[in-house]
Structure 1
Amino acid sequence: MRDNNSIGPWIRRFLLEHVATERNLARNTQLSYRDTLVLLLPFLSKALGKAVDRLSIDDLSPASVRSFLRYLEKERRCSGATRNLRLATIHSLAKFIGMHSPEHVAWCAAIRGVPFKKTASSTLTYLDKPEMEALLHTPDLHTALGMRDHALLLFLYNTGARADEAAHLSLEDIKWGTSPAVRLVGKGKMRWCPIWPRTADVLKPLIAGRACGEFVFLNRLNQPLTRFGIYAVVRRTVAQASQALPSLMAKTISPHCLRHTCAVHLLRSGVDINTIRAWLGHVSLDTTHIYAEVDLEMKAKALALCDLPKETRTRPWHTDAGLMSFLKAL
């Protein structure tokens, strides 16, 4: 008879069947779930004086979960956001067990009753157009690495691609022709994104002479650039550009910041919110609405500073015309 009370087999099913197969979560999300359990199981084993393979479902009680969360914050110095991320994994594990084992439904409800901690919402960082242009003009186009850095930054700005998506981009993902586009795969989802003429002009010489299956962005050793390498390129370029434009020093700029910049600039050009959602690959429109709220907040601040007449404080949103003017400006 199967022992439904031992937590080991449930964790195995949770990671290998539910997270990886049934939900098909992104690889980084799978690793995050695993990392939480790598921390949780030794903590329970030490606290209860039991071997890891002897732990039962009842050993994971609301009290032990709260102790684990305190351990994360006090001893490991984790932020509130990280604490909530770890708790979300535990909630997900409890839900999985409760759905497949009716006798553990009450236990599941108790575990999922451990609340998340309220944390301050993070500020969305993006670059204004002069700052973005300063970043794009920083790499030395007379060198091979400078050309690659320029192409990478422009690609991130054009597509709003995540660092992992750009790192895994291959030549076969790009469709040339009268309307160039790129296929991006991230978080288990695929989307097509248009390539601006300006971006196409810098990508073509970068990949000239390469085979179809090769990666687009390579490092000094002609190996695929990793997402950590992409972070390094952005940080290095920002450090150089900050010497000429000090406003960059006040912002925390990462590849994801360029994704935010792409969305805000598209919105300001008049592109509708649904198009931006598809452009960035968001599942929920609520995620994309963050950019609309940020843009409205910035406009309100600008109006307050300028003290414009009431009749000039609103203007109609443009759609296709705004998009075309934005693309031509690039």
Structure 2
Amino acid sequence: MAEHAAPTLSTLVQRFFMDHLIEQRAVSPQTIAAYRDTLRLLLNYAATALKRTPSAITLSDLDAPMLLAFLDHLEKERGNSVRSRNARLAAIRTFLKFASHHDLASLATIERALAIPFKRFDRPMVGFLSRAEIGAIIEAPDRASWAGQRDRAFFSMMYNTGARVSEMIGIRCRDVVLEGQPAVHLRGKGRKERSVPLWRPTAALIKSWRRRIGDPTGESILFPNRSGGRMSRSNVTQRLDLAVAAAGLKNPGILERPVKRPVRGWV
């Protein structure tokens, strides 16, 4: 009997996304995008290094020396942090583990690639803001403007729930319960879901904000941008910068605080 030919790299990539990530693991769109960007960067780097087209790259080309050179390229030429480098490596490892089940001829290459370690790095001590400082930032946006009312409700809910920015910008009106015991339903990383109670002041801001936007349908984004779509992370960062600057006029100490530290609850 004739032996089955090993699948091409392009076939493996397609199966990885369509069958493994989407159908079997049902990962979030954000995770799929991160893996897609990583493999695109890797294949473009390998194509340049080997002077081939990306479609001509094979799985055996993605050996340990190639991956180490790629990771070095990310840090030294693209300016990625060690944290970002490790995230790219994690995505590559996930793909290679999948590929090892479908291309037995490349097992030795894959095993050596999987042996590449993650880099250690110093984790900075996480700072915090006092309740008064948080309150000053929440109260800073203009109460009269559309954007100001949205920002006050947004920052209040983010502080109340400890939600990530990615969770906040995806909240729809149907996810918020304002009758009885107010609460919000959040969808986090890995499609994990949880409901978090809302404090009365937060619920009052949300009620006021929903009246401002015309009490939209349940599928509508609760905190939209001007065009009605989702806010981006950069948009949230910009709005937080404005609120911090405004709060700093009365509380100069806030301007010296690490408000934009990428921790849970803030950008």
User: TM-score, normalised to structure 1's length?
Assistant: 0.72
Give the 5 Å matches for 1:206-245: 206-208=209-211, 209-213=214-218, 214-245=220-251
The structure that is helix-richer by fraction is 1
Match of 1:127 in 2: 129
Contact 1:36 1:86 in 2 (8 A): yes
Match of 1:179 in 2: 181
Change (3 A) 1:219 1:7: closer
Contact 2:16 2:95 in 1 (8 A): yes
Q: Report the secondary structure of 1:192's partner residue.
A: strand
Aligned partner letter, 1:146: G
Match of 1:80 in 2: 82
Q: Equivalents in 2 of 1:258, 1:155: separation in Å?
A: 13
Moved more, 66-75 or 151-160: 66-75
Q: Equivalents in 2 of 1:93, 1:48: separation in Å?
A: 21
Q: Equivalents in 2 of 1:236, 1:3: separation in Å?
A: 59
Contact 1:139 1:237 in 2 (8 A): yes
Match of 2:97 in 1: 95
Q: Percent identity?
A: 30
Give the 5 Å matches for 1:139-158: 139-158=141-160
Match of 2:55 in 1: 53
Change (3 A) 1:221 1:48: closer
Structure 2 unpaired stretches of 5+? none
Contact 1:126 1:257 in 2 (8 A): no
Number of aligned residues: 261
Cα shift at 1:2: 5.2
Structure 1 unpaired stretches of 5+? 262-330
1:190 maps to 2:196: no
Give CA-to-partner distance per residue, 1:59-85, whole Å, 9 cap, x none: 111111111112112221222111111
Contact 2:141 2:151 in 1 (8 A): yes
Q: Equivalents in 1 of 2:225, 2:14: separation in Å?
A: 37
Contact 2:165 2:266 in 1 (8 A): no
Give CA-to-partner distance per residue, 1:6-43, whole Å, 9 cap, x none: 31111111122222332222222211111111111111
Say which of 153, 166, 169 aligns to 1:167.
Answer: 169
Moved more, 21-30 or 61-70: 21-30
Q: Report the secondary structure of 1:243's partner residue.
A: helix
Q: Report the secondary structure of 1:106's partner residue.
A: helix
Change (3 A) 1:255 1:193: farther
Change (3 A) 1:159 1:118: same
Q: Equivalents in 2 of 1:251, 1:27: separation in Å?
A: 33
Match of 1:249 in 2: 255
Contact 1:80 1:119 in 2 (8 A): yes
Q: Report the secondary structure of 1:182's partner residue.
A: strand
Q: Equivalents in 2 of 1:250, 1:199: separation in Å?
A: 27
Q: Equivalents in 2 of 1:219, 1:179: separation in Å?
A: 28
Cα shift at 1:3: 3.6
Say which of 114, 117, 122 aligns to 2:116.
Answer: 114
Match of 1:137 in 2: 139
Change (3 A) 1:222 1:121: same
Change (3 A) 1:23 1:251: farther
Q: Report the secondary structure of 2:152's partner residue.
A: helix
Moved more, 191-200 or 6-15: 6-15
Cα shift at 1:250: 2.6
Contact 2:259 2:266 in 1 (8 A): no
Cα shift at 1:224: 4.3
Contact 1:156 1:258 in 2 (8 A): no
Change (3 A) 1:75 1:144: closer
Moved more, 190-199 or 221-230: 221-230
Cα shift at 1:221: 4.6
Q: Equivalents in 2 of 1:125, 1:260: separation in Å?
A: 12
Cα shift at 1:151: 0.9
